[in-house]
Structure formats: C-alpha cells, structure tokens
Structure 1
Amino acid sequence: MRTLFVGAGATGGYFGGRLAQAGKDVTFLVRPGRRTTLDRRGLHIKGPDGEAVVHPRTVTTETLDGPYDLVVLAVKSYALEQAMLDMAPTLGPRTVIVPLLNGMRHLDQLVGAFGPERVWGGVCVIMATLNADGDVVLMGGPLRLSYGPLDGGDDDRLPDVTFALEGEEFDSHPSRTVVDGMWEKWVLLATLGAVTTLMQGTVGDINRAPGGAVFAQAVASEALAVATAAGHAPRPGAVAMFEQLVASDQPTTSSMYRDMMAGRPVEADAILGDFVTRAAEHGVPVPLLSAAYTHLALYSDGRMTSAGGR
C-alpha cells in the first residue's frame, strides 16, 4: 500500500520513519529545505533506547507522483490549509486520509474538500520534538496510533490500512470508536494547554504552587463538562489517566507551552478556540479555558506584530 506522510516533523517523522524502517512503502511530502536535510543526513530518531537513522523516500509539491492509497496528514493545525492544497494531487478515488491533527474541526474541512468516503479519524499519542538539527527526539511516554472510519462501520480498505500502519516500535490498531478517542485526546490537550500556558509552568510546579492544584482541577472539570455535553464523555479508563496526569508532580508540559516558550506559533484556535466555541454551543460555562484562549490569542497577535515590525 503506497503511503504518503504529509509532514516530517516530530509526529510524522517518528511514525513515518519507523514504518519506513520496517520496510513499509512510505514517502514523505516535505518542503524543499526539509527534503535536502533528509536526503543528506537521513531522518534521525533519538530516544531513551538509542538512536535510529532512516533514509526515507521524499517528494516535494514539484515532484509528486500520486495517487497514493493512504495519506497520513501530520501537520500542525495552522498548516492544514496549505497541506490540503499540496496533497490534493496525490488522491485517488479510493485513497484513505488519516489525519493526526489535534482537535476536531479539521474533520469538517477535510470532508468538505475531499469527501466523506476518503476521510477517517486518527489519534496519535507521542511526546516528541524536533531539535535544531531536525532530529526527532522522544521525550518519554507511550507511543500509540489508532485510526478508523468516522462512522465506526466496516470498510474493505481497513485490512490494508492496518497493515500499512503496523509498526514494531509503537502500538498501532484500528478503532471503531476513533471519534471518541479524538475527543478524549482533545480534552487532555485543552486542559494541559490551558493550565501550562496560563500559569507558564509545568504541571508539577503548578500543583506545588499555592492554589495550583485547585486551579488545574477546575480547568479539567470545565473540559470534561464540554465533552460530556457534546455527547462524547471520556471513558472511565481515560478519565482515570487524565485525572492522574493533571494531578501529577512531574515536569509535564503541553506542546503549546513548549511552542510558546520557544516563540513559535501555537495551535490555540484548534485546541482551545474551537473548544470554547463548542462550550458556548452547549451552554457550558468555561471561564478558565476562555481566559487561556484569550491569553494565547494575545501571544499570537504579539508574534505577528513583531514579525511585521522586523
């Protein structure tokens, strides 16, 4: 099964790199600069157990050779529109698109552009970043990938997609409840994102600060209330894991916090903005989540102003 990974950042680079390492038919659609780096020195994946170097096949928008059977979309939410334009020529009538984006609103955009017969749901669990050399650096924690049709029904393409996404280095499995899984991840990301960016600290530091634990639990309660009102209450196991993480004394952060501290763009609209919008639609008050979104909106505006002034 010909598989195209759109993006070779921390998420796409890890999962796509591991699949390429396992001999799967994987190609990365990347920008020319990233292609030059990957072609010259390979894709480095660094973790607690050592380092792997993969030399994947790469293409750019100028050298696309579609169609592909499977397209895994692994970009940040603010890069989605351009990624959709870039990947459009690679799609055939039976191509499956598995997006690994955060939040939910990207599903409406993808279905509207490419049709419900192509778009599935996808959930990835990974804590990783790119270093200055463009290497994927794992930060610990589980490595999981799940995917499946949005309606949870049968699809004759599922066995091939399952084989294409199976890897020995991470847990990969199809799911009939992939939308619920996406909501569970969204609740976690919205909570951790709001807590860490608003307080500008790790979960452990916040819980040790006066009033920090109460604040973190209040944010978590808001997020759980929104998901429940939307008809996607997290399952008991997910809630237990979620509550344990929010109450942790470990130096856990969110990707938005790490991006904000590094002065990079953040996924505020997809993770918090859309969450706050859905809360309003269901009449759920979320003052803390709203405050965090306002804070990140001001941060994003400041970035844009600084960039325009240089």
Structure 2
Amino acid sequence: MRILVLGAGGVGGYFGGRLAQSGGAKEVAFVVRPRRKAQLDRHGLVIESPHAGDLRMPVTTILPEELGPGWDVILFTCKAYDLAEAIETIRPAVDARTAVLPILNGLAHIDALEAAFGPDRVLGGLAGIQATLTPDGVVRHLAPLTFITFGELDGTISDRVTALKAIFDRTPIPPTISSDIRRALWGKLVFLGTLAQATVLMRANLGEIASAPGGTAWIERLYDRNVAVAEANGQALPEQQREFLRTFFRTSPAATASMLRDLENGGRIEADHILGELLAATRRAGLPDEIAEAAYINAKAYEARRDAGRLPGANA
C-alpha cells in the first residue's frame, strides 16, 4: 500500500512518521511546501515523544506541483479552513484506486470531498492526538492519548480499511475500524463543540469555569444540550460514549479546546467548522440556540478583529 500524507505538521508528521517507521506500507510520502521540504530533506523527520519513543528518520517529500497518481490512501491532515486549497493540492494524486481519509474536525468536509472526488473515493475518519510542530521543525508529542478511527461511510468493512488497519497495528497508534463512522464523527463534534463553546466563551479551562458559581452545572447543561442536538439530527450517541464524555468534562480541569489555544496565540481558528456546524445543527433540531449562537458570534468577531490587525500586541 502506498500512502501519501498531506502535510507534516503536528498531526501529519506524527501519524505519517509512525507509518513510515513501521515499515508496513510499501511507501509513505509527505506532500509539503518548500520550506518544510527543506527542513525534512536536511534533518529528516524528527519526533520527540516521551510516550511512544523519539524518532529521527529520512522521509520522502513531494512538492504539490510534483504530485501524480498511483496512491492507495491519502491521509488528509490539514485544518478544516484549508480544505478547499488542500483538495486542489491533492487532486492530481487521486485516481480510481485512491481512498481519501480525512481526519479533520467538523462534518462538512465529507460532502466537499465527495463532491470533488466521488463518494467511492472518500472514507470517514477521526483522530485524537496532542502534538505540535516547533519552529525548528520538530514534531512534539504532548500527551499519551493518541488514536485513529476510520471506516467506510456506508458502514461496510472493506478490504482497503482492513489493510490500512493492519499497517496501523504495527505503529504505537491504536487503530479502530468503525462500521458507523458518521455517528463517530458526530460524537467528536459533540465533544469538541462542547469544549470549544465552554472554553472559548469563558476564556478559561474547564477547572476555572467549574470554580465559578454555577460553573459545573453550566458545563453539564451545555453538554446535555449538544447530546440532544446529535440525537435530534439522527445520530444518538451510544450510552457508553455519553458517559465517557460526561466523565471527561467532570474530571479534566486543565482541558481547553485547541481553538482557545489558537485564539490566545492570535492564530486562525475553525469557527465555522466546529461552532458554526454545531449552531446549524442546533437550529435544525429546534432546540434553544442562545449559547451556541453566542459562542459562534464570539469566534467570528475574533476572526474579524484578527483580520483587521486589531489583536492585542498587533501594532506593538
């Protein structure tokens, strides 16, 4: 199996690096921009992980203009706001044998990818990892909980997902094939959406919110509302998953959404792809949307302020 990884940042670099290290694939290559290609060609792919072991190895890198067909799987690891550009980047690499596996946040990317490449070319996927790319090009793995889940969007267990799982089985990244990947994607939206709504609105982690009068009950109500939103949209979460997430929100005081971390660093955020999608789903469900709307407006106002160069320190 030939695997092409779009990007070599925190997510693409870690997942692609572990795939390359495993030797389970016929080839693993990274499509990257010139600056990142120069780093990788000079120093190799470097991963620092106290959880799964460090890695330094040479890797195959390809510039977008050099792409051609012949890939079995394309691992799509961009941010959701880069989706349109990423689709055009990989278009020359997609042929009749290719499966595109996105591990993006949100739901709308599935429709966009199916429209671009056809339903038969697109898998559903989600991943969990805390990793970042340092300025000197090191992929730093920050927390032990790391996984990938993927599956056919029609629920079948195909040869291609089985073959891909066998390759991931040789890495430190636990893989799961899902026969209901759409529901799994909704579960991730409920989790990320609740975490983003809470921590972005309050500019605080879960513990700091819980320490405020009524904070714990407010988080619980927010989570319950989003569980109800998923159910009303035909994607009721399994009881075991509901209770697992409820426990997370009760027992993870240091947790924040990556959106809050990006916002506090003055970076781009996935406002439309997480908060916007959850707001639209809340309205489709006919459920009260005041908090979902406030969180989305908050994030979009930040984007407007960032685009205008009016963030604190922007003119320093």
Category of TM-score, reference length = shorter chain: over 0.9
> What code does the residue aligned with 2:9 have?
G
Report what 1:279 is aligned to: 282
Report what 1:36 is aligned to: 38
Report what 2:50 is aligned to: 48
Between the two proteins, the alignment pairs up a number of residues equal to: 310
Contact 1:68 1:90 in 2 (8 A): yes
Report what 2:21 is aligned to: 21
Report what 1:5 is aligned to: 5
Offset of residue 97 of structure 1: 0.7
Contact 1:207 1:248 in 2 (8 A): no
- The match for 1:78 among 81, 91, 104 is 81
Q: How does 1:30-179 map to 2 (within 5 A)?
A: 30-49=32-51, 50-179=53-182
Contact 2:5 2:29 in 1 (8 A): yes
Offset of residue 232 of structure 1: 1.0
**Structure 1 segments unaligned to the other structure (5+ residues):** none
Offset of residue 171 of structure 1: 0.3
Q: CA RMSD in A?
A: 1.8
Note the alpha carbon deviations across 1:88-146, whole angstroms, 9 max, x for none: 00011121111000111100100111100001100111122222323222221421111
Contact 1:194 1:289 in 2 (8 A): yes
Give the Cα separation in 1 of the matches to 2:78 and 2:252.
30
CA gap 1:15/1:210 in 2 versus in 1, 3 angstroms: same
**Structure 2 segments unaligned to the other structure (5+ residues):** none
Offset of residue 248 of structure 1: 2.2
Note the alpha carbon deviations across 1:22-44, whole angstroms, 9 max, x for none: 12321111111111111122222
Offset of residue 223 of structure 1: 1.1
Give the Cα separation in 2 of the matches to 1:51 and 1:164.
20
> What code does the residue aligned with 1:136 have?
V
Q: How does the TM-score come out when normalised to structure 2?
A: 0.93
> For structure 1, which segment, 206-215 or 2-11, has the greater mean C-alpha deviation from structure 2 after superposition?
206-215
> What code does the residue aligned with 1:11 have?
V
> For structure 1, which segment, 287-296 or 154-163, has the greater mean C-alpha deviation from structure 2 after superposition?
154-163
Give the Cα separation in 2 of the matches to 1:145 and 1:279.
27
Offset of residue 179 of structure 1: 1.3
> For structure 1, which segment, 233-242 or 116-125, has the greater mean C-alpha deviation from structure 2 after superposition?
233-242
- The match for 2:236 among 233, 236, 239 is 233
CA gap 1:250/1:138 in 2 versus in 1, 3 angstroms: farther
> What code does the residue aligned with 1:144 have?
F
Contact 1:222 1:289 in 2 (8 A): no
Give the Cα separation in 2 of the matches to 1:136 and 1:33.
15
> What code does the residue aligned with 2:105 have?
N
> What code does the residue aligned with 1:221 have?
D
Contact 2:168 2:174 in 1 (8 A): no
Give the Cα separation in 1 of the matches to 2:221 and 2:249.
10
> For structure 1, which segment, 160-169 or 257-266, has the greater mean C-alpha deviation from structure 2 after superposition?
160-169
Q: How does 1:199-218 map to 2 (within 5 A)?
A: 199-218=202-221
Contact 2:148 2:176 in 1 (8 A): yes
Give the Cα separation in 1 of the matches to 2:222 and 2:46.
37
CA gap 1:298/1:26 in 2 versus in 1, 3 angstroms: same
SS at match of 1:281: helix
Report what 1:195 is aligned to: 198
Report what 1:303 is aligned to: 306
Offset of residue 154 of structure 1: 4.1
> What code does the residue aligned with 1:237 have?
Q
Offset of residue 283 of structure 1: 1.0
Contact 1:71 1:97 in 2 (8 A): yes
- Identity percentage of aligned residues: 36
SS at match of 2:54: strand
